[in-house]
């Protein structure tokens, strides 16, 4: 091949290579442009993701609202007013000094206790159980917003196990007191307590939910001299330290003050009892106004019947109590009660013995009326006695 022909061949190959390279470069540019154009002209993916995110947010909001109900609303209403009560009590221990001689001394020591309470008005008055603060030398009150106050005992009713405390401060939250006269068996009940705010650095109360299991549960006087009458029974858990806390209805109103449970093991088995709030209101008013429960004067005394007395009086059974003393010019004498009358009912409650009689008058306050049904010479007589203050 001549040199001239070889040069032409090489030139053609070079031109072909350059043309092919240009074509490939053009194709790559067009592909990039197509990708950019596709990305700009196709917003469906991010828009879909946005719609999905909005839908998810809407579902979460709907779920949140569906979790809110009458119970959560009731808790929100009363929760700020539930307080933790931390007390220090001084106890005296008697110590024997000798093994051979009866020499003793007494040593005081401090005991810490905890309980719960509920603020019931804007002036800082607090309801709790008397057994929570009896004998306390120091009382610390902790609110749900972590504020701490020194608590002052306004008054104690040891018999009914009710105490009124007071704190001084601004913007004090308080609960609304309802009524315990129209409770319905089976309606929701919510027990709140706040005993551990100081111990675990958590000022929020604990909550348990149940129903009103029974009402008007009466208990005889216990070994501490306390009388629990017409108690509210609930299966809402009332645990240790929740004594003095509120029992609340579905409207967020306080209907009782948690007091004690029935349990062989010490744990909750669904049998708890609360003091009806209507009784607490009367006691609170008495304690705030007078600093104590004024002693009532009826002006008569009673005793149990026995077979000999029943036979002498011509009675068919031993039900009722015998009036064995009526004070001259006393409320009972002025109302017409007489010695040897047999009291069979007090304020509608059937009386079988003196324990029933004591229980029947345990809720009576100064100024109340006592409606008594007596048996006199085999005739039933109604007598109304005005309870006066003993002086």
Catalytic positions:
131, 161, 243
Instruction: In whole angstroms, give the CA distance from residue 124 to residue 159.
Output: 24
Spatial CA neighbour of 84 closest among 134, 147, 131: 147
Beta-carbon count within 10 A of 340 CB: 14
Spatial CB neighbours of 103, under 8 Å, sequence gap ≥ 6:
96, 97
Spatial CB neighbours of 33, under 8 Å, sequence gap ≥ 6:
none
Alpha carbon 13 to chain centroid distance? 99
3-state secondary structure 39-105: HHHCCHHHHHHHHHHHHHHHHHHHHHHHHCCHHHHHHHHHHHHEEEEEEEEEEEEEEECCCCCCCEE
Q: Is the separation of the CB atoms in 95 and 108 below 8 Å?
A: no
Q: Is the separation of the CB atoms in 117 and 128 below 8 Å?
A: yes
The alpha carbons of the chain give a radius of gyration, in whole angstroms, of 39
Instruction: Encode 347-372: b = buried (16+ Cβ within 10 Å), e = exposed.
Output: eebebeebebbbbbbbbbebeeebeb
Q: How many residues are given for the chain?
A: 391
**Three-state DSSP class for residue 348:** coil
Instruction: In whole angstroms, give the CA distance from residue 73 to residue 317.
Output: 54
What are the phi and psi torsion angles at 47 (to 5°)? -65, -40
Element (H, E) at 342: strand 342-346
């Amino acid at each position: 091949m001549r040199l001239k022909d070889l040069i032409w061949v090489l030139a053609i190959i070079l031109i072909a290579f350059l043309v092919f390279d240009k074509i490939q470069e053009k194709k790559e540019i067009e592909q990039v442009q197509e990708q950019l154009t596709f990305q700009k002209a196709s917003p469906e993916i991010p828009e879909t993701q946005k719609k999905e995110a909005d839908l998810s947010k809407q579902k979460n909001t709907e779920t949140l609202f569906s979790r809110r109900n009458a119970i959560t609303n009731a808790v929100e209403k009363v929760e700020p007013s539930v307080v933790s009560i931390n007390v220090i009590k001084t106890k005296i221990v008697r110590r024997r000094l000798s093994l051979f001689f009866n020499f003793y001394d007494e040593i005081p020591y401090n005991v810490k206790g905890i309980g719960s309470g509920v603020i019931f008005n804007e002036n800082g008055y607090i309801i709790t159980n008397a057994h929570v603060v009896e004998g306390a030398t120091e009382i610390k009150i902790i609110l749900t917003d972590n504020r701490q106050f020194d608590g002052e005992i306004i008054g104690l009713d040891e018999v009914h196990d009710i105490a009124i405390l007071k704190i001084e401060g601004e913007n004090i939250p308080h609960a609304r007191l309802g009524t315990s006269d129209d409770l319905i068996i089976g309606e929701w009940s919510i027990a709140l307590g706040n005993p551990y705010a100081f111990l675990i650095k958590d000022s929020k109360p604990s909550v348990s939910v149940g129903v009103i299991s029974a009402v008007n549960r009466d208990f005889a006087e216990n070994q501490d001299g306390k009388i629990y009458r017409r108690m509210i029974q609930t299966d809402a858990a009332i645990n240790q330290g929740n004594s003095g806390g509120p029992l609340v209805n579905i409207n967020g109103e306080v209907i009782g003050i948690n007091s004690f449970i029935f349990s062989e093991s010490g744990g909750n088995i669904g049998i708890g009892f609360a003091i009806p709030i209507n009784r607490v209101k009367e006691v609170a008013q008495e304690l705030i106004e007078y600093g104590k429960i004024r002693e009532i004067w009826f002006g008569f005394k009673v005793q149990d019947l026995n077979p000999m007395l029943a036979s002498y009086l011509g009675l068919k059974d031993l039900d009722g109590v015998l009036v064995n003393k009526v004070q001259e010019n006393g409320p009972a004498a002025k109302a017409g009660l007489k010695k040897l009358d047999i009291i069979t009912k007090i304020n509608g409650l059937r009386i079988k013995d003196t324990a029933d009689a004591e229980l029947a008058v345990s809720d009576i306050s100064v100024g109340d009326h006592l409606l008594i049904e007596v048996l006199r010479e085999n005739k039933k007589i109604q007598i109304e006695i005005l309870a006066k203050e003993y002086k």
